[in-house]
Structure formats: structure tokens, C-alpha cells
Amino acid sequence: MNKIVIKLSLSLFAFGITNVVSAQQVDKKVLNWYNGAAGMQTEKAYKKVKKRESSTVIVAIIDSGIDIEHEDLKGKIWTNTKEIAGNGIDDDNNGYIDDIHGWNFLGNSKGENANDMRLEKTRILASLSKKAASESLAPEEQALLDEVKKSVEEDRAEYEGYLNQIDMMGPMIANIPAMVASEIGKENYTMKDLQKWNAPAEKVQMKQIAMAILNGDLSEESMKAQKEQIQGMLDTHLNPDFDGRAIVGDNPDDFSDKVYGNNDVEGPDALHGTHVGGIVGAIRGNKMGGDGVANNVLLMSLRAVPNGDEFDKDIALAIRYAVDNGASVINMSFGKAYSPHQKAVYEAFEYADSKGVLCIHAAGNDHKDIDTEPNFPTSVYSFQDKKLDHFLTIGSSTRNTEAKLPSSFSNYGQKTVDVFAPGSEIYNSVPQSDYATLQGTSMACPMVAGAAAFLKSYFPKKSMKEIADVILKSSRSYKGVQQTHPATKAMVDFGTLSVTGGVVDLYSAVLMLLAEESSN
């Protein structure tokens, strides 16, 4: 989030990204921190297994798409060897024509792609409002309609307020440089001058805005871009009359209608998915960007996450595709507050569970307790008898282990969040062979997917359930350690924020598996 006045990049907000920093601005302390001592101790883990052979592990990335030609992902993209590229034939008879590197569930057979979508609550609002116009709603339907209507109206009011703030800030921004120059007695001031300025309380915001202008975060161009993004949110995410799904041509409520989409696994906006994929498996040691966690890995791109809320049907089919095509790990860096087809998604998870495929899900970025406010998909649905063996939910941690270990945006839950992993200030790949620093539980999730793939690669005899158990058991415990609560900002026991009370530690996981081998 932009700390001055408004949120940064609302088009990315739907994906759970909370900040974007250009490659030129990357701090050396940030580069690869997640693989170091404050992170998962990945480098130490590699030293411990350097004499062992590794096997290739397929990781499915259900996301916005991946730039499969990225320079840092060369040799890291999964190829369907049962399919002949470009012949227009479904060679492997799986229902997907020319699915060479995965599948795009957000397109049509003409090669056209959808991207902007409504939030799920907006879709529910539109559907129930239409139904209510012709018939009486059941009590539970009326209650849901009232709930989503209120929520959508509140969100629209909030974003319209942001637009008004931007309009008011325009003249302010234009006048700030002269005002600050008068305050500090220097016209061509520098960032160092601003940092030295001991501004009185009533001038602190002026100082903050001046610093944002000077470092490029706040400009006429950026304000214009933010205004366009917010207006886009109002026009699509929160607009009941907008239907971005129409281009796909399927019925998103009919799960038997499976023949749709295309093989464009990058799509029109693959920033989020490319970053997630890079965290899992970007080339290590080439000094191009951040290193991936897993070295011997292939990424299967399944485009199912739009700019807006994903559809349950796309997610369920993507999970089944990943399982049927050899993925050992499925990364799911997405989530939403409502899920109208929960049982169908759960059945897909059950299918993955029965095949021994590990599903890893981001906890979400609303700094809320998902024990009481679910972030779908979830590891424990209301109709579920027991937790699945192959499902992990991941919170986000920082490199500040002293007092601010949980990321300020991270969701938490002593029953439903299994473990935390690095998710703040993560520098890695984005489209066009570029790099950026992003943060969110969306980044923490592939850390664990990469860790799971690493362990499966070097300990191939272990089942994914055994690997998941080791990841949890070996996590670096912070139980009893006081940390800043993501929501209340009060100091609390970190152990109350997740099941394990720990942060993933790949080195400790390797030691645990080696010890098991020695004892057998």
C-alpha cells in the first residue's frame, strides 16, 4: 500500500501484491534475503545436499500466467511431451488442444483472452438481484444479497473517495516543492536534506509527500495512473453490470462444460504469475535476479487467476489438470471472500489428495483471522470432516525477526494457517525478462512450493505428505516470542498466529530427513 494517501496499483491489489519497486531500486539487503539466514536458510540446505543426485519435480502454478520466455526461466518451463505443438490436434486426448506448457482457462478457441473480472461478491450481487426481480428469495439468499450489496456499496464509496483525494492532491503536489523549500531554506533540496529536516508535527505529512515526490513515488504521471486503476476497479471489479467472462464463452456455473480456453499460458498480464514462478524456480546463481528456491524444477503454467476474483470452476479444473499431468506440487497464490461452488473445489482437492499431490495456498493479505473469516479456497470447509493430508496454508513473514516478523498485511489463524514463510520485499522475475520487488502471501506461498519441490527432488522416495510434515515439523519456532500482531499492532506471542508458530526452515528440514535416513 502507498503510505502517503492511497493504495498503489489496484490492478495488482486483486492478486494480493502490496507494493511494487523497480529493479533499479532493489536494496542489496533485499536481494535473495529469503534464501539466507533471516529467511529459509536455502543456501545452507544446498550445501548439505551437494553430493546428492536430484530428480526433476513438476510444480503447477495456478495464477495469472507465466512469461515462459523469461531469461531467468530458461529450461524451467514444463513441456507436455504427449502433445505435438501447433498441429491443432488433441494428441493426448485430454480435452485440451496443443496444451504444450499448460492451459489458459481464461480464453477462447480464437486465441482471445479475458482478464478484467468482477469480484465474486459483485457476481453474487448481480445474480441474486436478477433472481429477486422475478421471484422471492429464500431467507438465506436474501441475507446473502443484503450482505454483498452492503459490502459492494461500501467498497465503491471507498474507491470513489480515493478518486476525490487524488483530485484534491493534484494542486497540493504542485505546491509542495516551493513550500518545503521555504521551510528548510533551500530551493534545490535533496533526499538527504529532507531526512535531516526535523519537521514539526503539523508539517510531517508535507515532508512525507516531498520525499515521495523526490523518489518518484508521487508524480503527475503516477497519480494519473492510480486514478485510472481505481476507476478500472469501479468499472469492473465492483460493477454488477460488467461481465468480463463473456469472451470465454462457457457457463462458469456448469462444471461439466470443460471444453474452453486456449494454450496461451502467458496471457495479457502475467506479472504476478511470473514472479510467483520465479520464486519457485528461477535460475540460481546467474546474478540476473532473485534466485529460485528449487533448482531441478519444471513450472506448469495454468492461467486461471484474472484481474478480479477467480472462478471456482477454473480453479477446480486447473487442479485436476495439474494432477493428471504429473505435478507433485500445486501453488495457489490467490483467494477470495466468497466461493459459490465450494464442494466442487473441495472435490478437486480430494482428488489431488488421493493422488498424493501437495496443494499450497496463500493465506491472504487482509490481516484478518481466517479461523473465523475464511479466505477461499480453504483447508477446512464447513462440510469437511477432517483436514486433507496434502494441503498447506501459508502466512507471510519479514526479514525483521526482532519484533515485526509477521508481515503487516498477512492473514493469520492458529487453526487454519499452517506456517509462515518469507513474503515481504521479494525480488524476482516479472515479464519481459525484467525484475521487481513485490510482497504478499502470494510470495510466501511459492517459497513453500519451492521448498517442497527441493525436498522431493533430493529425497524422491519421500511422499509429498511426508515432505509436508517435515516442512511443518522443522519450521523455526517462534512460540513464546513477542511480535507485532498484523491487525491490532499489539505485541503478541507469534505462536498464536499459526498452527506451528514457526517460519519455514529448509536447512532444518534437510537435517531432519538426513537424520531419518541415518536411523533407518
Catalytic positions, please?
A: 235, 272, 442
What separation in angstroms does the CA of 10 have from each of 108, 336, 428, 446? 26, 15, 20, 22
Q: What CA–CA distance (Å, rounded) separates 344 from 303?
A: 19
Q: What CA–CA distance (Å, rounded) separates 451 from 419?
A: 13
What separation in angstroms does the CA of 54 have from each of 46, 57, 321? 11, 9, 25
Q: What CA–CA distance (Å, rounded) separates 156 from 164?
A: 12
The residue to which cell 486461471 is assigned = 304
98: left (phi over 0), alpha (psi -120 to 50) or beta: left
Q: What CA–CA distance (Å, rounded) separates 479 from 401?
A: 13
- The per-residue DSSP string of 323-391 comes to HHTT-SEEEE---BS--TTHHHHHHHHHHHHHTTPEEEEE--SS--BTTTS--BS-SS-TT-SS--TTE
Phi, then psi, of 426 in degrees rounded to 5:
-105, 115
Helix, strand and coil in the chain, % to nearest 5: 40, 15, 45
Coil, helix or strand at residue 18: coil
Q: What CA–CA distance (Å, rounded) separates 408 from 93?
A: 47
Q: How many CA atoms lie within 13 A of 17 on its CB side?
A: 25
Q: What CA–CA distance (Å, rounded) separates 18 from 65?
A: 19
- Beta strands in 205-352, from DSSP E residues, in sequence order: 297-303, 329-332
Phi, then psi, of 197 in degrees rounded to 5:
-70, 115
What is the enclosing helix (H) or strand (E) of 468? helix 464-473
171: its cell numbers: 494542486
Q: What CA–CA distance (Å, rounded) separates 282 from 67?
A: 12
Across the chain, which distance is largest between two alpha carbons, in Å?
75
